[in-house]
Structure formats: structure tokens, C-alpha cells
């Protein structure tokens, strides 16, 4: 079956979502932002008022329908694209995504969503757990100050102000939690290509990844 699976992983603010979305647009592929899915579960958990530390309390996932479609994330039919960026969600998402039950539910959904066609999927464990046989795996990095500056700019565009020190602390804390958790921590796959984006523009990163994709596709003859 024709298709291509492009896995993009990296720490908070490394540009995964922006870059994956642009690649998908340019290539006419489907983009799946798995971070948005973990954020949606966190939002739902907060709204249900459950004890966020109790793994059993996430059983609401048995009946909820979370899906990412065309740059938007939905819980059932409700578009929660904006709501998942709240401070409360950002603060708690690393805790929520550390539970094996939550990960199993979302990883199953992600594997299913990536079954057919040309897919760009971004997250923390795509190359290692969700798509271990991806055609191309990219690991994006950038130093923490640069990542904080990007997040600050993104927030400003939405009219949200924050101190750079606060953003650096938030990113560093999340990196630490995501890299040290027991269940599928943030880790570079052995066969991933590392791209340090600290001194690269978004367009430069997008072009580099598209070049690498073209080379792989030609090699595979798809
Ligand atoms: O804020 P940023 O865009 O960098 O993060 P995100 O991609 O929206 O992901 C939010 C959080 O979800 C991460 O900090 C991880 O705790 C979790 N996550 C995960 O555990 N596994 C994934 N595949 C994607 C996200």
C-alpha cells in the first residue's frame, strides 16, 4: 500500500507542531499532533474534576472520543483547539501523560490513525513507540532559551504575556518530567536523524526535512 510515515519527536518548544503542520500542508499529507491529544485528555480530566493523581479516574477515556483532524483537536464534536493551550492544561499535561493507562489508550488511537496513507506525526515517543517502523524519524532540538523565546512569541501573538524566566522554568520542568518518566519517556530513537534548530528558521527546517523525505521516498521507490 503506498504511503509514508514521518515521525517527528523532540522536547517542548522545539517546533515540532509548527514544522509538522507546514510539511503536511506542503506535501498534502495528514498531520497528527499527539501532544494535542494528551492535552485534550488533560482538559477533560480537569473539567470532570477528577483526582489527577488517580490513574483509575481516567476511565472516562473508555467512552470519550478524542481526535485530531485538519489542525484541530476535538473531544467528541467539540473543538478544543484553543482550550487545550490554557495554563492549567500545560501545567498538568506531563502528569496526565505519565500514566500507562492513558498512554495505552492514546497510542492505540495514534497507531490506528497512522495506518493508511501519508502521515506526519509529532510527539515524544513516535519514533520509539507509536511508529517504530516509520520511514523517516527526525528528532528536533534547540537550546532551552531559544525554545522559551519561541513559546513567548507564540503566546504574544495570542495576546498572552509571560516572563521569559517563567517560560524557561516551565519548559525545563516539562523536559525533566517527560524524559525521566517510566512509561515511554522522551528519547531519541536509535535510527532518528537529529536536527538542532537553534540557529535555523522554520522554513530551513521544513526544507531540510522535505529533502530527507524525498531521498527516502526515492530509495524506497514509492
Ligand atoms: O508544549 P509543546 O507543544 O511542546 O508540547 P505538546 O507537544 O503539546 O505536548 C504536551 C505534553 O504532552 C508533553 O509535555 C508531554 O508530557 C506529553 N506528550 C507525550 O507524553 N507524548 C507525546 N507523544 C506527545 C506529548
What is the tens place of the pLDDT at every residue in 22-76? Answer: 999 999 999 999 999 999 999 999 999 999 999 999 999 999 999 988 889 999 9
Q: Which one, of 6, 61, 10, lies nearest residue 175 by Cα?
A: 10
Distance in Å, CA 123 to ligand 1 centroid: 6
> Quick check: CB of 15 below 6 Å from ligand 1?
no
Q: Where are the beta strands (DSSP E) in 1-92?
A: 3-9, 30-33, 66-69, 72-75, 78-79
Q: How confident is the model at residue 123 (pLDDT cuts 50, 70, 90)?
A: very high
Range 3-215: architecture per CATH: 3-Layer(aba) Sandwich (3.40)
Q: Which one, of 122, 119, 161, 162, lies nearest residue 138 by Cα?
A: 122
Say which residue, 195 or 184, is predicted with more confidence: 195
d(CA 29, CA 124): 20
Q: Cell numbers of 91, please?
A: 501545567
Distance in Å, CA 38 to ligand 1 centroid: 7
- Round the average pLDDT of the chain to a whole number and report it: 94
Question: What local confidence, expressed as pLDDT, does residue 221 receive?
Answer: 57
Q: How confident is the model at residue 16 (pLDDT cuts 50, 70, 90)?
A: very high
> Quick check: CB of 39 below 6 Å from ligand 1?
yes
Q: Report CA-CA distances (Å) from 3 to 6, 112, 202, 214, 216.
A: 10, 14, 25, 13, 12
d(CA 177, CA 101): 17
Ligand 1 atom having least distance to the Cα of 178: 16
- 76-111: burial string, b at 16+ Cβ within 10 Å, e else: eeeebeebbbbeebbebbbebbbbeebbebbbebbe
Q: Which one, of 91, 82, 110, lies nearest residue 45 by Cα?
A: 91
Ligand 1 atom having least distance to the Cα of 122: 23
d(CA 40, CA 61): 11
Q: What would the mean pLDDT of 85-100 be, rounded to a whole number?
A: 94
Amino acid at each position: 500500500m503506498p504511503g509514508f510515515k514521518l515521525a517527528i519527536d523532540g522536547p517542548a518548544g522545539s517546533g515540532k507542531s509548527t514544522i509538522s503542520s507546514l510539511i503536511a500542508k506542503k506535501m498534502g499529507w495528514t498531520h497528527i499532533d499527539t501532544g494535542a491529544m494528551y492535552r485534550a485528555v488533560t482538559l477533560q480530566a480537569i473539567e470532570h474534576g477528577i483526582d489527577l493523581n488517580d490513574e483509575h479516574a481516567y476511565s472516562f477515556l473508555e467512552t470519550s472520543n478524542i481526535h485530531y483532524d485538519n489542525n484541530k483537536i476535538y473531544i467528541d464534536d467539540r473543538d478544543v483547539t484553543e482550550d487545550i493551550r490554557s495554563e492549567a492544561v500545560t501545567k498538568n499535561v506531563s502528569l496526565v501523560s505519565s500514566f500507562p493507562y492513558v498512554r495505552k489508550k492514546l497510542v492505540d488511537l495514534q497507531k490506528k490513525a497512522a495506518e493508511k496513507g501519508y502521515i506526519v506525526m509529532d510527539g515524544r515517543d513516535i519514533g520509539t513507540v507509536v511508529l517504530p517502523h516509520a520511514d523517516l524519524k527526525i528528532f528536533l532540538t534547540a537550546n532551552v532559551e531559544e525554545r522559551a523565546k519561541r513559546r513567548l512569541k507564540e503566546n504574544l501573538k495570542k495576546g498572552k504575556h509571560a516572563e521569559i524566566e517563567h517560560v524557561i522554568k516551565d519548559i525545563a520542568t516539562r523536559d525533566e518530567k517527560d524524559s525521566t518518566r517510566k512509561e515511554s519517556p522522551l528519547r531519541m530513537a536509535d535510527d532518528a536523524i537529529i536536527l538542532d534548530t537553534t540557529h535555523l528558521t522554520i522554513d530551513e527546517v521544513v526544507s531540510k526535512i522535505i529533502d530527507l523525505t524525498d531521498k527516502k521516498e526515492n530509495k524506497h521507490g514509492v
